[in-house]
Each structure stands twice: as structure tokens, then as C-alpha cells.
Chains A and B, each alone.
Chain A
Amino acid sequence: GAGVSQSPSNKVTEKGKDVELRCDPISGHTALYWYRQSLGQGLEFLIYFQGNSAPDKSGLPSDRFSAERTGGSVSTLTIQRTQQEDSAVYLCASSWGTPGEKLFFGSGTQLSVL
């Protein structure tokens, strides 16, 4: 596609349930990032994939969070046993792969945990 695609755009779930968020980056982009943005807050880095290298998971807030990237393209962020504090917008971004360069963001998934 022309841009970074995320699905679903909105997800409402009950506390304790697992959720999966999907990101389809721009074709050819080797770097893929997941961020979280809470209301009125800055972007919080979660995880980074670059090509076939081991992902940088240093931003994941707990072991309930995990992500994978299959075939160097589509990525899935999984949150297990969701908590109310997980409610936020989850943004995916991709880039050509030079650290710190321009990021192209998807429109995000608004996650609401009731």
C-alpha cells in the first residue's frame, strides 16, 4: 500500500482479555517501530525491528507485551491479560532503516480496556 496500515482502528476489550494489533509497513521499509501514546502524552517507544536483526524490546512495559514481525514485513503487537492502564493509541511507524531518520506513521489503533 501507499502508507503504513494498522488494524483495527479501534479495539474495545474487557480487562484480562488478550488483544492483537496489526501493522503493515510501507513496502521496502526495513525498520518498524511500535509506540504508545496516552491522552495528552508524548510517544512512548515500545519495540523496534530492523531487518533480520534481533528486535530492540527495551521499551516494552511488561512481559504481557510482545511483538513479532513475520517475513520482515507485517508486525503484530500482542498484549496479554489487558489492564485498564493499557488503554492508549498504539502507533506503528516504518522507515528505510537508518536510525533516527524520518518515520512514517500509521493512523494507529485506539485500544480501550474496560
Chain B
Amino acid sequence: RKEVEQDPGPFNVPEGATVAFNCTYSNSASQSFFWYRQDCRKEPKLLMSVYSSGNEDGRFTAQLNRASQYISLLIRDSKLSDSATYLCVVNDGSRNAGNMLTFGGGTRLMVKP
């Protein structure tokens, strides 16, 4: 089993739709969680951190479920510009400092007019 797993997609949704992605992680001791966004042929950029109580940033909502070991990203009112790959990142505090962050393979989102 991969340490961080994501459905690769693609998720094809119309503009204005609500879409949600899940990401599961295997290490129950994982300490912090992030969503990064990566546009085609570009570098990843931090979208948002994921807090235990859940957090919202505009149209984006991130949630953490420690019992089931997954995090989620909800995007409301999808825009064409939301089309990208969304990377789930988990901080496994038990490893060497450099290797603490484990990246999922990403979920590709395509928003259509």
C-alpha cells in the first residue's frame, strides 16, 4: 500500500460544479497535512494547509479525518482556472527531516465550460 494515495482522475466537471477529492495516508502518526496545486508543466504551489478542525479559504475547504486516515479537498463553484493537478502532502514526523513530506501522485481536475 502506498503511503499517500490519491485517485489520479481526471475529474471532469462543468463550471460551477462542486467537486471533492480524498487522499488516504497509511501512517497514523502523521502530523500535518497540505494540499498543493500543480498546473501543467509547472511547479507545485501550496494551496492550503489542513487543520484538525477543518479550514476554509474562499471556495476551498479542507478537512482531516484522523480516525479513517484521510484528508479531503472540496472546491465549490468550480472555475476554469481551477483546472490543475492537486497534490496531497503528508508530514510524517518520524522520518529524517528531509524526507518527512510524502507527496501523493495527485488528482487531476479538468473544469469544462
Contact = CB atoms under 8 A, between A and B. Distances in A.
Interface residues of B, number: 24
Interface string B92-106: 010011111101111
Secondary structure of the B contact surface, majority rule: mixed
B91 A100 contact: yes
A58 interface: yes
Contacts of A55: 98
A8 B58 CA distance: 36
B75 to A, nearest CB: 20
Contacts of B49: 102
B44 A45 contact: no
Contacts of B42: 107
Interface string A25-61: 0000000010100001111010111100001101100
B46 A42 contact: no
Contact of B105 (A40, A50, A91): A40
Interface in B22-75: 31-32, 34, 42-46, 49
B101 A100 contact: yes
Is chain A's interface secondary structure helix, strand, loop, or mixed overall?
loop
A65 interface: no
Interface in B73-93: 87, 91, 93
A103 B98 contact: no
Contacts of A108: 43
A81 to B, nearest CB: 25
A96 B46 CA distance: 15
Contacts of B34: 102
A99 interface: yes
8 contacts: A35-B103, A40-B8, A41-B105, A42-B4, A56-B96, A59-B98, A100-B31, A105-B43
Interface of B: 4, 8, 31-32, 34, 42-46, 49, 87, 91, 93, 96-101, 103-106
